[in-house]
Amino acid sequence: MNFISLFENDFKAIFPEIYLTIGILALLVYGVVYSTSAAHNYPIIIRSTGWLSIQLLLLSVLLTLNNPMQDIIIMNNLMVSDYFGQIAKVVILLSSLVAIIISLDYVKKERINFFEYMILVLLAVLGMLLIVSSYDLMTMYLAIEFQSLCLYVLAAFKRNSIYSVEAGLKYFVLGAFSSGMLLFGISIIYGFTGVTGFEDLAKLAIFTSNEDVYLSSGIILGIVFISVGLLFKVYAVPFHVWVPDVYQGSPTIVTAFFAITPSISVLTLLTRLFASTLHDLITYWQPIFIFCSIASMLLGSVVALSQNRIKRLLAYSAIGHCGYVLIALSTGTPEGIRGLLMYSIIYIIMSACFFTVLLSLRKKDMSGQIVFINELKALYKANPVLASTLAIALFSMAGIPPLAGFFSKLYVFLPAIHEGLYILVFVGIVGSVISAVYYLWLVKIMYFEKVDKWTSFEQVDKQKAFILGITVFILLFFFMYPSPIILMSHKAALMICL
């Protein structure tokens, strides 16, 4: 039998990934050949590579949305193609597209002339898509490592900056530790059960939860190590120590990419593995996520109060938001998964808005972008539009109604209340109150602080203005028509829980 005919449907199901792979290889060849061409005077092609990457991601979105192969397990039970994964892939592709758009002006102003940046971003996106489609522990591990290797290089991309190199090194060392924990957990599960597929693990979870103590204890031990490895990737406490240093040391466009895109892929994987595959063992893995959720919300909110650098503040803010996502995951119900998807999508929009404003605040005196929170003083006088935009994003992050951030927290708290997880809801409300302090503190600095010396900022380019317009519109008017995101998230949650 012809090999292509045997896997014809499989190749159709992963056609967006195949297309993205071919596009990345073509861009790499284009960059290597053209940038080293003496006939063209060694041109700088990072902006053209960026626009080609945007086109590549847009076409990948269209291919993903129009994929005819749905709800099938492919590649000999190694991967899956379903509606839940389709939604996650579209979110990943669109958020990556936004991250590239807002970086175009930055690479020009900072004179980053390495086209490899765009290639690394696309490779990381490809790794995320493979993580979402993973349906086997080994596929999961390989996809995570593929994504992580690209992110390590991106963190250290600014080679002439000691902070960037330090960020990349810390991320690599601690990432290797988490990968070791993940692989150790996979080894334990395989050693006790002899299987690595999600479907086989789901069957074993049903029959071993109360029957075979020896077998179930082995699975539970493996689950603990796997959860530790995966929680590291989503910034959960106590596996968060690398996040502030990596956020601060990485170039701002890389920090924006970290904040906007990677977490959704691992959250999708956590949902597929724990809330779906290992749902029958919820009494064993639920306490881990509850503890990490409480610790993340409290530590992220409290420690952020003492920060004076914007990117470190955003790092602890991301840790706190991770705690809210884990509330939804801890319920293990379709309503909780719906809340997880809604929260993730709205948080991506808020982060995109915040980082677009941050990248837009470039000083005219050639001293670069703002670093410290105090540099936002009297921003309302210098640029009232950017100040208003940032204030809307901050109010939404604080969960103030009727902005989109309020509804994201509402749809996370409601499933927890229905499942009786009142302690999580209580800590979540306390965390929201504490986090509102530093969000409103930033607003106070922008609007009410007085300065002795005025700071002039450069004009916002068209690409960033376009992104700011869309994100602010969604945050402001989400309450008027939330049905599309709610229905889409609900359908995806029902599909994953069947």
Per-residue pLDDT tens for 34-78?
Answer: 877 767 666 777 888 889 999 999 999 999 998 888 888 888 888
pLDDT of amino acid 381: 82
CB count within 10 Å of CB 440 equals 15
pLDDT of amino acid 202: 86
CB count within 10 Å of CB 418 equals 12
pLDDT of amino acid 204: 81
Collect all residues with Cβ–Cβ distance below 8 Å to 262 and sequence separation of at least 6: 124, 128, 147, 151, 233
pLDDT of amino acid 192: 84
pLDDT of amino acid 4: 64
- H helices of 36-67, in order, are 46-65
* Average pLDDT value for residue range 132-156: 91
71: left (phi over 0), alpha (psi -120 to 50) or beta: left
Judged against a pLDDT cut of 80, whether residue 6 lies above it is answered with: no
b/e per residue 357-366 (b: at least 16 CB within 10 A)? bbbbbbeeee
pLDDT of amino acid 211: 54
Mean residue pLDDT across the chain:
87
Residue 290 · residue 332 · CB < 8 Å: no
The pairing of strands 79-81 and 72-74 is antiparallel
* Average pLDDT value for residue range 258-270: 88
User: How buried is residue 252: exposed, middle or buried, by Cβ count under 10 Å (0-12/13-18/19+)?
Assistant: buried
pLDDT of amino acid 415: 92
**Residue 252 — very low, low, confident or very high, per pLDDT cuts 50/70/90?**
confident
**Residue 126 — very low, low, confident or very high, per pLDDT cuts 50/70/90?**
very high
Give percent of the chain with pLDDT exceeding 70.
Answer: 95
